[in-house]
Structure 1
Amino acid sequence: MVARSILSHRLKYHTTSLISKNILSLSVARPKLIRPLVTAPKHSPQHNTPPSPSTSSAQSSEQSKGPKPTETTLQTPTRPQPWLTRKLRENPTALQAFFGLARVMGYGSKKQLSGRRALLMYQRLCANRPIEERAFWQDECHLPPTFQSWFSVTNLHVWLLTVRLRALPDPYAKHHIQGLIDHFFLDVEDRVRVVLQPATRKNMPPSPLQTSDSTPSDSSGPSSPSNPDFYTIANGNGKDRPKGSAPERLVTRQMKILKEQWAGLGLSMDLSLMKGDAEMAGAIWRNFLGARGARGIVYPSSTSVETGKPKPYFRRSVNLVGGEVESVKKIDEEGLEKAEARDDGSGVHDYAPEEADKYVKYPELMEEIVVYVRRELKRLEGLKDEEVMGPMVMGKEMSGIEKLSFGKIRT
């Protein structure tokens, strides 16, 4: 894993975003901290994200009932604009001079523009996909409401964008992919720290990623690491904790595990593009359906001699390849059956015998996800490189980002 300091240096966030009309969604910056993933508000006071079809229909019905709401009622920033933004907007000459200075300092380079475009791709297209399709992933695929589930679904959409970004001309392909992955893991680290050591109500800072009028169902902006909508945080109810930050040893280990999972999903999905839908269905079964039933389906037939009731049953799939999560040596010592019967706390395991009928839906679920992946890859392939990269002009990184938006899994 690349050191965090190196990532922050690579992804240095220029202050000109504070004065741009089109990237004011990134403008609320924390002093002495160049971390755009944690400082972007959920709404932009100057830029309105194009509404989804469902939102458009709802708005049209409301327009027929009453007057059209103003922009100020729809979007209210949580913090006032910085003094530099206000001063430069009042003086167009100073604004142009400021942009010129930023270009001289390298903030308008191809790498910087690609990195900021990649940030918007991640925030607007990937980070909220688990929330937008929460009913499918949690109710149909039975993924538990955990950070691990959020990571898996988000990782899938990061991979979908990566496949299209590979086709961009050099050096844009390299810059966009690196920026997308860097922003992904910076956000992941923030979330890991919150999950491992949630802040108390006394020291919980107000989330800059959400506006005062935002709701959990509003997914036009990135969700907050400290207030996620897709998963729950243990002890996130404000109870005091003995320490104020997560132990670095645990954070480092968890980041290594997530990097391993990111690479594993990418390799398996890349292989499936070459081998076909059957290979892709297998990758989806392993990564998104918990590899349930890998050792067979157990039916409610066996009962205990003493009680006459079904025997207690628990079995999970164990990765015999090894890695950061499972130790093959330890599995050999204790035996596979004992390792499978040990609850790892992930919430993903084989269905109980009385729930064996849930396996019937697995072929359809795998087909739906395979069709979704193929459909989105085909749609992204049809976009021009200019539409994917945007105008590549400082201050217009947000332009055309809605064309890359993913569709619904079930159409």
Structure 2
Amino acid sequence: MTPSFSTWTQITMLHMYLLVTRLRCFDKETYRMWQSMLVDNFFQEAEDKMDIVHHISSRGLRQRYLQDLFMVWRGVMVAYDEGLMRGDAVLAAAVWRNMFKAQPDVDARHLAAIVSYIRRSISRLDRTPDEVFILHAGGELFSDTKAWPPPTADLGLVDEPATKEMVLLLKEAERLEAEQAKTAPVIETVVEEAEKAADKAASA
């Protein structure tokens, strides 16, 4: 993915969504408070990037962009929620539409790796105690790449079934080749005997 404001937005929203799924485990008041703080911080950071990095000096223009971003955020939550409920194919489609802008040439392995990363992250967050989550949800959870490997680490999991299947196919090919090597002399002998019998019958 090419670094851009849109890319940063989608990657950040993905991790916000992961945090929101964990926040839903808290009581309604706590969940709403933390989600509001999370979203507010994101939009403040987004506006700062527009101003400082992309030099959008007009506050009115930034506000219009932020309104569009808010609609994107709501769509992301709905799409990923649907994917979690309906299965990996639907989740992959949501990732494809949002993170990759529905580009037709996206590597399916990358989609599968991100889906695996989402599932793995949600599972790990679910096992994280409340107090640990609250203390480290500000970014430390995802910053340690050893404790929390990035989506590229899931490419191995994506390739593993294909690798196993290839190994099985190679073993089957070797078995067939060995069987053919054993039966080849027998076939040659049978053919020779048949030819001799045919010659004898012809001479008689």
TM more than 0.5? yes
Q: Is residue 388–residue 404 contact of structure 1 (8 Å, CA) maintained in 2?
A: no
Q: 1:380 to 1:195 in 2, by over 3 A?
A: same
> Superposition pairs for residues 351-370 of structure 1, below 5 Å?
359=105, 362-370=107-115
Aligned-pair CA distance for 1:172: 2.1
More helix by share: 2
Aligned-pair CA distance for 1:248: 2.5
SS at match of 2:150: coil
Decide which structure has the larger Cα Rg and report it.
2
In structure 1, the residue matched to 2:150 is 408
Q: 1:279 to 1:384 in 2, by over 3 A?
A: same
In the alignment, structure 2 segments of 5+ residues that lack a partner are 154-204
Could you tell me how far apart the structure 1 residues matched to 2:138 and 2:93 are? 35
In structure 2, the residue matched to 1:286 is 97
Could you tell me how far apart the structure 2 residues matched to 1:399 and 1:155 are? 14
Q: Which has the higher contact order (CA 8 A, sep 6+)?
A: 1
Q: RMSD between aligned alpha carbons? A: 2.3
Could you tell me how far apart the structure 2 residues matched to 1:382 and 1:410 are? 22
Say if 2:16 is the partner of 1:274.
Answer: no
The ranges of structure 1 where at least 4 consecutive aligned residues each deviate by more than 6 angstroms after the TM superposition are 398-401
In structure 2, the residue matched to 1:148 is 6
SS at match of 1:171: helix
Q: Is residue 380–residue 404 contact of structure 1 (8 Å, CA) maintained in 2?
A: no
User: What percentage of aligned pairs have identical amino acids?
Assistant: 32
Q: 1:253 to 1:195 in 2, by over 3 A?
A: farther
Say if 2:117 is the partner of 1:372.
Answer: yes
Q: 1:256 to 1:282 in 2, by over 3 A?
A: same
Write the deviation string for residues 66-120 of structure 1: whole angstroms up to 9, x where unpaired: xxxxxxxxxxxxxxxxxxxxxxxxxxxxxxxxxxxxxxxxxxxxxxxxxxxxxxx
Aligned-pair CA distance for 1:262: 1.1
Aligned-pair CA distance for 1:402: 4.1
Write the deviation string for residues 203-242 of structure 1: whole angstroms up to 9, x where unpaired: xxxxxxxxxxxxxxxxxxxxxxxxxxxxxxxxxxxxxxxx
Q: 1:254 to 1:402 in 2, by over 3 A?
A: closer
- Correspondence for 2:69 among 235, 258, 263: 258
Could you tell me how far apart the structure 1 residues matched to 2:37 and 2:6 are? 22
In structure 2, the residue matched to 1:384 is 129
In structure 2, the residue matched to 1:11 is none
> Superposition pairs for residues 13-52 of structure 1, below 5 Å?
none
Aligned-pair CA distance for 1:181: 0.9
Q: 1:404 to 1:383 in 2, by over 3 A?
A: farther
